[in-house]
Amino acid sequence: MYVCTCLPVYLSSVYPAKHMHLELKGIHKYFGPVHANDNVNLVVDSGTIHGLLGENGAGKSTLMKVLSGFIHRDAGEILLDGQAVEFKSPAAALRAGVGMLHQDPLDFPPLRVLDNFLLGLEDGFMQNRAQALADLRKYSAQFGFDIDPESLVSALTVGERQQLEIMRLLSRGAKILIFDEPTTGISLPQKVKLFETLRLLAQEGMTVIFVTHKLEDAEDLCGQVNVLRRGQVVGHVTRPFTPQQLVQLMFGQQLGTSTRETIALGDLALELRDLAVADYRLRVPNINLQARCGEVIGLAGIEGSGQRLFLRAVAGLDHPLAGEIWIGGAKMNRQPYRRFLDRGVAYMPAGRLEEGLVPGLNLAEHFILAKRSKEFFINWNFAEQQAHERIQQYSIRGAPGSRVESLSGGNQQRALLALLRPDLNLLLLEHPTRGLDIESTLWVWNQLLERRRRGTTIIFASADLDEIFEYSDRILVFSGGRVAKALNAKDTSVAQLGELIGGKGL
What DSSP string describes 197-215? HHHHHHHTT-EEEEEES-H
Would you state the pLDDT for residue 6? 36
Mean pLDDT of 259-264: 74
Q: How far apart are the first and last CA of the chain?
A: 49
What does 14-78 look like in DSSP terms, one character per residue? HS-SS---EEEEEEEEEETTEEEEEEEEEEE-TT-EEEEEE-TTSSHHHHHHHHTTSS--SEEEE
Number of H helices, E strands in the chain: 17, 21
Local structure of residue 462 (DSSP, 8 states): -
Q: What is the pLDDT of residues 174-215, one digit of tens each?
A: 899 999 888 876 767 778 888 998 999 999 889 999 998 778
Task: Provide the pLDDT confidence category of residue 10 given band limits of 50, 70 and 90.
Answer: very low
Average pLDDT over residues 262-271: 90
Backbone φ and ψ for 91, nearest 5 degrees, come out as -65, -40
Confidence of residue 74 (pLDDT cuts 50, 70, 90): very high
Walk me through the domains of the chain, giving residue ranges and CATH numbers. Answer: 10-251 (3.40.50.300), 255-344+423-506 (3.40.50.300), 358-420 (no CATH)
How confident is the model at residue 225, as a pLDDT? 92
How far apart are alpha carbons 25 and 61 in whole angstroms? 17
Model confidence at 4: pLDDT above 50: no
What is the rounded CA–CA span in Å between residue 196 and residue 137?
Answer: 18
Using left for φ > 0, alpha for ψ between -120 and 50, and beta otherwise, residue 488 falls in: beta
- β-pairing, 296-300 vs 322-327, is unpaired
What whole-number distance in Å separates Cα of residue 211 and Cα of residue 182?
A: 8
User: Which amino acid, one-letter code, is at 312?
Assistant: R
Lowest mean pLDDT among 30-34, 258-262, 340-344: 258-262
**Residue 321: which pLDDT band, with cuts at 50, 70 and 90?**
very high
- Residue 93, C-beta contacts closer than 8 angstroms, at least 6 positions apart: 67, 68, 69, 87, 99, 100
Distance CA 94, CA 201 (A): 17
With beta carbons less than 8 A apart as the criterion, state whether 66 and 59 touch: no
Span 490-499, pLDDT tens digits: 888 777 777 7
Residue 265's Cβ-side half-sphere holds a number of Cα atoms within 13 Å equal to 15
Percent of the chain with pLDDT over 70: 92
**CA distance linking residue 132 with residue 292, whole number of Å:** 57
At 76-101, the pLDDT tens digits run 999 999 899 999 899 899 989 999 98
Per-residue pLDDT band at 123 (split at 50, 70, 90)? low
Q: What is the pLDDT of residue 185?
A: 65
Peptide bond into 149 cis (omega under 30): no
| Residue closest to 225 by CA, chosen among 209, 236, 211 | 236
Whether residue 340 has pLDDT greater than 60 = yes
Which pLDDT score, from 0 to 100, does residue 1 have? 33
Q: Residue 236: what are its φ and ψ, rounded to 5°?
A: -140, 125
| Closest to 255 (Cα-Cα) out of 440, 45, 110 | 440
pLDDT given for residue 5 in this prediction: 32
pTM score over 0.85 = no
Each residue of 244-260: pLDDT tens digit? Answer: 788 778 766 555 555 56
Are the C-beta atoms of residues 106 and 180 closer than 8 Å to each other? no
440 near 453, Cβ under 8 Å? Answer: no
Summarised one tens digit per residue, pLDDT across range 53-64 is 887 778 888 999
H or E stretch including 134? helix 129-143
294 and 456 Cβ atoms separated by less than 8 Å: yes
Q: What is the pLDDT of residue 301?
A: 84
Between vectors from CA 436 to CA 53 and to CA 395, what angle results, nearest 5°?
Answer: 105
Is residue 271 classed as helix, strand or coil in its secondary structure? strand
Do the Cβ atoms of 48 and 213 come closer than 8 Å?
no
Q: 211 forms bridges with which residues in the sheet?
A: 52, 180
Beta carbons of 164 and 136 less than 8 angstroms apart: no
d(CA 487, CA 102): 37
Per-residue pLDDT tens for 222-245? Answer: 999 999 988 889 889 988 888 778
The reported pLDDT for the residue numbered 109 is 85
Picking from 333, 342, 330, the residue whose alpha carbon sits closest to that of residue 269 is 330
How many other CB atoms are there within 10 angstroms of residue 244's CB atom?
10
Specify the higher pLDDT residue, 440 or 399.
Answer: 399
Q: What Rg value do the Cα atoms of the chain yield, rounded?
A: 24
